[in-house]
Amino acid sequence: MNKIKLIISREYLTRVKKKSFLVMTILGPILFAAMMIVPAWIASREDTEVRTIAVIDSSGIFIDRITNTDYIKFEYLENKSINDVKETFIESGYYAVLQILPSITYEPSAVHLFSKKQPSFSIKSHIANSMEKELTNGKLKNHGIDEDILKSIKSDVNIRTIQWTDDGEEKESSTEVAMAVGYASGFLIYFFIFLFGAQVMRGVIEEKTSRIVEIIISSARPFQLMMGKIVGIALVGLTQFLLWIILTFIIITGVKTVFFPELGTQNAQEVVAQDLFEQTNIPQAETIQPQNLDKFSSILNAAKSIDYGVILGSFIFFFLGGYLLYGSLFAAIGSAVDNETDTQQFMLPITIPLIIGIVVMMNVVQNPESPIAFWFSIIPLTSPIIMMVRIPFGVPYWELALSMSILVITFIGSTWMAGKIYRTGILMYGKKVNYKELWKWLRYKS
């Protein structure tokens, strides 16, 4: 046991002192924080440039009918053709020219937007929404239906999801938030297993090709060396993950305090929501509606109600379980070959379950209670990814316990199997190994 501790200590200290570890530990939180801060900054940033769009309306329907905004103005031109405007377009200072043909009432594509630059999506959406609204109002009037009547009967529905706990209490939840948390957790599990599992394989290959392993084996058993390497790299991964969480929280809190102090005020939700609606140009919503604020607030409340302790604890367990399972297999592959080129034939059976887990994850976030979601969260080769996707939606304790138990049992079995391959292959050089040879190694008696 002391020898395993020494190997773990060596693997851990060697890797955390590397420049690559320090660089990734610093860059990781910066990238994660940027993913959260930059969208908020973009949403709150006001575009002060006013763009003027010339309108040539041959139909006569939309004269003074397309709604101006704070940053988009429409100037209607009479008795001018598109060729006339094209000749003086640069001098005119127009951002674009909107041409509406007389056939607009029965031909949706009878609208052309000419410009030197590619128009933004928000501008196209605003023009299309304004014109669709005007055409709809015109058709309603032709059928004798007043626009005010139609507005009065229009209703909005905002579904708030409330979960009943085992104690009978009510807890507000959000399907959208659960999907986001589950997807992020599952993808991180996949990323960490693949990243650190590959590090185990490369480490074994480097020690084998440099013949350092021959010296180490003289004082430690092959199984002790394999377990020490796997656990040591696992601790490196956990250290980096925890540092990422702490540093990301510090960066976000610091940037929020210095650059976005208004986000801590009472009206923070309303300000952010208003900016988001303005930037995305939601149809027929120049001003924020109460139901939109309610929906935005309910999502924030649901995000606060998530038990992040359970999420973090489950993440650590399934990361360790999944990594130890795949890490032992990666170590076995590294011991059986002399260079990374020879690993390709053995990597495919190991990477396929991880890739299948990512593919199935897309379906699970849509239907976390389906039979596919259940079975793939129980199968140990995919359970670290799929179960982490399901946990934010709520998983019965017996399913969680079953998944964890099978994962532990499978890890023990894979470690035993990988140990037999490692024991034989770690000191074997110059021989091309195939699956038949690996099967022989598994059958060797101690």
How many domains are there within the chain?
A: 2
158 is a domain residue: no
Are 170 and 162 within 8 A, CB to CB? yes
pTM: predicted TM-score of the whole model, two decimal places: 0.65
pLDDT tens for 252-283 read 788 777 766 655 444 444 444 444 444 444 44
Domain identity same for 366 and 416 = yes
Domain identity same for 289 and 342 = yes
Domain identity same for 60 and 178 = no
| Residues making up the chain, counted from first to last | 446
152 is a domain residue: no
Structural domain boundaries enclosing 232: 2-40+174-443
- Chain CA centroid to CA 68, Å: 36
421 is a domain residue: yes
Domain identity same for 32 and 55 = no
Q: Which helix (H) or strand (E) holds 57?
A: strand 51-57
Are 390 and 314 within 8 A, CB to CB? no
The torsion of the CA quartet 368, 372, 376, 378, rounded to 10 degrees, works out to 80
132, 164, 183: which is the final residue of a domain?
132
Supply 85's token pair: 């405007």
Domain identity same for 439 and 376 = yes
Neighbours of 315 (CB within 10 A): 20
410 is a domain residue: yes
Domain identity same for 70 and 27 = no
Domain identity same for 58 and 19 = no
Which of these, 64, 62, 54, lies nearest to 101 by C-alpha position?
A: 62
Supply 253's token pair: 């809190």
Are 226 and 328 within 8 A, CB to CB? yes
Can you list the residues of the chain whose pLDDT is less than 70? 1, 39-48, 147, 150, 154-174, 214, 216-218, 259-307, 430, 445-446
